[in-house]
Structure formats: C-alpha cells, structure tokens
Amino acid sequence: METVSKHNHNPLIQGKIISVRGSVVDVWFDNNLPPVYTLLHTGKDKEMAIEVLTQLDAHRIRGIALTPTQGLARGMVVETDGKQLAVPVGKVIIGRMFDVFGNTIDKEKLIPADIERRNIHQLPPPLAKRSTKSEIFLTGIKPIDVLMPLERGGKAGLFGGAGVGKTVLLTEMIHNMVGHNKGVSMFCGIGERCREGHELYHDMKKAGVLENMVLLFGQMNEPPGARFRVGHAALTMAEYFRDDEHRDVLLLIDNIFRFIQAGMEVSGLMGQMPSRLGYQPTLETELSKLEERIANTNAGAITSIQAVYVPADDLTDPAAVHTFSHLSASIVLSRKKASEGLYPAIDLLHSNSKMATPGIIGERHYKLAQEIRQTLAQYEELKDIIAMLGMEQLSVNDRNVVNRARRLERFLTQPFFTTEKFSGLKGKEVSLDDALNGCERILDDEFKDLPESAFYMIGKIDEAKEKGDHKPKTGNKSKSTESEKQKPDVKTDKQETESKKNPEKVLEKQTV
C-alpha cells in the first residue's frame, strides 16, 4: 500500500496493527518494512506515534508508543513517511519549553513550521574530534566548590534517595549559574513531577533568564517511550548549539535514573529477559548511547549536571553504579545529614571529583581540601567513642579535631535562594576564595570560642562572627547545651545501628 504524502512527496507506507500490549505495538507491513527508529503514525488524526524498535520478521515490526495508547486497536491503519523522530533546532527554540516531539508546551506563539528539524538519534562525536580541557566550573555552593569542584565540559552527578534534596540542589545551581553562563542552558526533565517543570519555567521567567534557556520535558505522566527518548531530544538540541553555533551548553537533567527506568519498562514490555534486580540486559548500552553524546569537541563544550535517584539509598544499585562510571564528579547526598538539617545534605567524604588534584585546583586549595577531609574522617572515627564514652574521655587533640570538624560541617551548609520561601533564610552565593578562607581559619582554630551554631547556614565566615557576637552572653552556655542535646541522640542512633551490625563489637567497646 503506497500513497504520496501531501507535504513532502515521500511515499507513505501503510501497515496494520496486529497487537497492542501496553506501550508495545506490533505492526504488519505487506512490503517495505520500515527500518529501526522509523516513526509511525496512527489514530483518527494520526495523533499517535510509535517508534520502530525491532523488525521481528519480513512483515512484522515491534515498536514502542510515544503517546498514550488509549483507543489503539488491532486492525488500525498505521502510516509512515520513513522519517525518524526529529526535534526543531535553531535560534528560535531559545526561551521555549518543549515536549519529546519538539512541540512547544508553554502556550506562547507557535514556532515556524519550516524550521530545521534534526533526528534525535545521532552518534556520539568520534574520539579524534573530542577535546579535554581541565577547567573548574564554579557553582557558588561552598561544599561543592571546595571539596568536589565541577569540571567545565564535564559530567557531574547528584546521587540521592527520595527526598534528600536533589531537585533543590539542581535548581540552586541553575539559579547561580544561568545568569553567569555565557552559553545556552538546557533543562531536561525526565520522569519527574510535572509540577516541578512548571514551577521551574515560571521561576526562570520571573528571574529573566529564560532568554538563555531551553526546557524540555517528558515527565512521569507520559508513557515510557516518551521518557526514554526525551534525553536524546535534549541532546540533539544541545549538539546544535555546540556544533553549529559554537556555544557552550549547560545541560541539566532531572532525573537520569528515570531514563534507565523507562528503558527497563520498555525492555520488559518487549519481552526481554531481565538482568540483575530486574534491570534491562541492555542498561549499559542504552546509558552510554546517551551519556557519550554529552561530549566536548573543538567547537564547544557540553557541561552536564545530572540528578540520579538512588533506589533505597543503595549506591550499589546497578543504575547508580553504571551512571557513576560516566561522571567526572559525583556529589552524594545523605539521608543522615538531611535528617540533621545540614543542607545541602552532601556526604562530604563519599563525594569526589576528578578535578581535585593540585595541578588543576592549585596547591593551596588541594592541601586545604585534604585537611578538611582528614579532619572529617577522624571525626567520623571518633563518633563511636563519643557515643559510648562521651567527649570527656577524648584526648585534648581529639577534642580539637571534633570541634574543628563540627564547625566545618556547619560552615559547609548554606542557605539557598531556592528554599528562601520556606526556610525564611536569605539565599547566599559564596565565592571560592571566601569558602576556602573560612575553612582555613576554622582549621587554624581561629573561631574555637564561637558557638557551633554561629557557623550554621551562613555565607562567608565573617557572618559567623556577627552571629556569635550577637548572641547573648550565654553564648558559651548554649554551646554546651547544644552539644549535650546532640549527645544522647548520637548515642542511641549509633548504638542501635552498631549493635545491629556487630553486637560483639559494641559489647567489647562497652567493657573497655
């Protein structure tokens, strides 16, 4: 069956639906079986889209629906002009919000119909075309800039379980960087809440930075096919800015785990055997097809920051493990820190960056970062003893380490612009110099007489002094009540987990 399409004179190939299982649709073609990735249309107004994923035999293809399949039935006619899913590229897409098909969803005026469209499936740039520069990308967020500096043109991941602050941290980074970033910023929402997409769009509009941004969403209400392809659509647009306009691109993705999850749903529906923990056997290939496209060439750089949901807070989950291997910096968010209110809840010892070497960040910064890590690691080790025997039993040296570490932990929290509305604290952006300076002075014991609370949720270190000085004379008293308040907490908590893991060890310690 062949007719000629009205618009482009490509022969239209027609087929018939022979089975519908969830989002997976099998189609029969008498001849001219469409190749993989071809987009098929069906429905009354040809409003439903199906992408070919495999050719089952000489007459049947199996595809995944990119739109809801309600109303789809066997025998319905499917047609295609042989094209793949393509999204608009060009200057006009800046400041707009799109769905996976490249349709605008911001209720503004339509983009011109004759605008160039590019296929969302592209190969990553070859090795010979890639470039690596080692430059730091500052975020204005103290713990990140000091301990896990991001790479310009690199990939950074924000790992965390449900509700530990991934989206808040990502939004804060957008807030701090979009204004300063000379290139284009792109936000790609994959499988997260629709509300968040809307809020972001309006916040960006209000902040007046929309003219340098492109937003793209395939949220959780959409079928797995749409969530599976929206990342590729975003990269096609990003590649246009990099390759054609030679501009740097900042690509923010929330949440790359949902891309993997969409792949898992598709794979299950396609009838593939699941692999470890039910993930698709092709997880690694699918993820690298997307991640490898986020690359720097001589034309420009794509810097990406990706939120990664970690199921059940288990960092050994295959989805998290495979994502780790693509990144140059990983920021791990911890539930424990979130529960203590130490936001951003970054696990300072488990997060790391390949940039943290003396050759790139400089000798002073490197040494300071090492010293901070050392202090925090020592404190971590001492926590058990403190929980069992109390601070009094520590040597003077150890007590100093604990004091420094607790002040550092608090100094490395920061009030966010994003959370101003509900925290009531004014957001702060801190320069790297100020952050390093503060840490250095804390490590030098310059502020050992200030109460710990003076360091909590401040910007520069000078604010600690103001906060400490403004306290009533009971400043020192409040310090002791504060640590006393914390002690029983820590104790029960620690003992509980410890006794679960290793009851003998706890007994041993208690007898000591």
Ligand X SMILES: Nc1ncnc2c1ncn2[C@@H]1O[C@H](COP(=O)(O)OP(=O)(O)OP(=O)(O)O)[C@@H](O)[C@H]1O
Catalytic residue among 166, 229, 460, 479: 166
| From 157-165, 381-389, 462-470, 485-493, span contacting ligand X (CB under 6 A) | 157-165
Between residue 128 and residue 147, which ones bind ligand X under the rule CB under 6 A?
none
| 488 counts as binding ligand X under rule CB under 6 A | no
Q: Which position among 1, 4, 36, 162 is part of the footprint of ligand X (CB under 6 A)?
A: 162
Q: 193 an active-site residue?
A: yes
Residue 131: in which H helix or E strand, if any? Answer: none
E strands, 5-99, in order? 11-21, 24-28, 39-42, 48-55, 60-65, 77-80, 86-88, 97-98
Asked if 356 and 153 count as a contact pair (C-beta separation under 8 A), the reply is no
Nearest distance in Å: CB 419, ligand X: 4
Q: Which of 189, 216, 262 is nearest to 22 (CA)?
A: 262
Distance CA 41, CA 53 (A): 14
| 87 counts as binding ligand X under rule CB under 6 A | no
Which of 56/162 has CB closer to ligand X? Answer: 162
Which of 158/294 has CB closer to ligand X? Answer: 158
Distance CA 123, CA 82 (A): 19
Q: Which residues contact 110 (CB under 8 A, 6 or more apart)?
A: 104
Question: Around Cβ 214, how many Cβ atoms within 10 Å?
Answer: 23
Which of 279/309 has CB closer to ligand X? Answer: 309
Q: Is the peptide bond before 149 cis (omega within 30 degrees of 0)?
A: no
Q: What residues pair up with 61 in beta bridges, in sequence order? A: 27, 55
Between residue 298 and residue 317, which ones bind ligand X under the rule CB under 6 A?
309
| 168 counts as binding ligand X under rule CB under 6 A | yes
Q: What residues pair up with 157 in beta bridges, in sequence order? A: 306, 330
Nearest distance in Å: CB 167, Mg ion: 3
| 416 counts as binding ligand X under rule CB under 6 A | yes
Q: 166 an active-site residue?
A: yes
Which of 63/218 has CB closer to Mg ion? Answer: 218
| From 159-167, 271-279, 291-299, 494-502, span contacting ligand X (CB under 6 A) | 159-167
Q: 192 an active-site residue?
A: yes
Q: Which position among 14, 139, 167, 176 is part of the footprint of Mg ion (CB under 5 A)?
A: 167
| From 78-86, 158-166, 212-220, 387-395, span contacting Mg ion (CB under 5 A) | 158-166
Nearest distance in Å: CB 158, ligand X: 8
Q: Which residues contact 188 (CB under 8 A, 6 or more apart)?
A: 215, 216, 217, 230, 231, 234, 251, 252, 253, 254
What b/e sequence results for 384-410 when a residue is b if at least 16 CB atoms lie within 10 Å of its CB, and e otherwise?
bbbbbeeeeebeeebeebbbbbbbbbb
| Residue with the CB atom nearest ligand X in the bound state | 165
Nearest distance in Å: CB 473, Mg ion: 44
| 419 counts as binding ligand X under rule CB under 6 A | yes
168 binds, among Mg ion, ligand X, none (CB under 5 to 8 A by kind): ligand X
Which amino acid, one-letter code, is at 358?
A: P
Between residue 324 and residue 343, which ones bind ligand X under the rule CB under 6 A?
343
| 306 counts as binding Mg ion under rule CB under 5 A | no
Max CA separation in the chain (angstroms): 89
Q: Which of 433, 436, 386 is nearest to 412 (CA)?
A: 436
Total binding residues for Mg ion by CB under 5 A? 2
Asked if 49 and 41 count as a contact pair (C-beta separation under 8 A), the reply is yes
431 binds, among Mg ion, ligand X, none (CB under 5 to 8 A by kind): none
Question: Around Cβ 484, how many Cβ atoms within 10 Å?
Answer: 11
189 binds, among ligand X, Mg ion, none (CB under 5 to 8 A by kind): none
Total binding residues for ligand X by CB under 6 A? 15
Q: Roughly how many angstroms between the first and final C-alpha of the chain, as a whole number?
A: 86
Catalytic residue among 83, 193, 383, 441: 193
Residues that bind ligand X (CB under 6 A): 160, 162-168, 192, 309, 343-344, 416, 419, 423
Residues that bind Mg ion (CB under 5 A): 166-167
**Which residues belong to the active site?**
166, 192-193
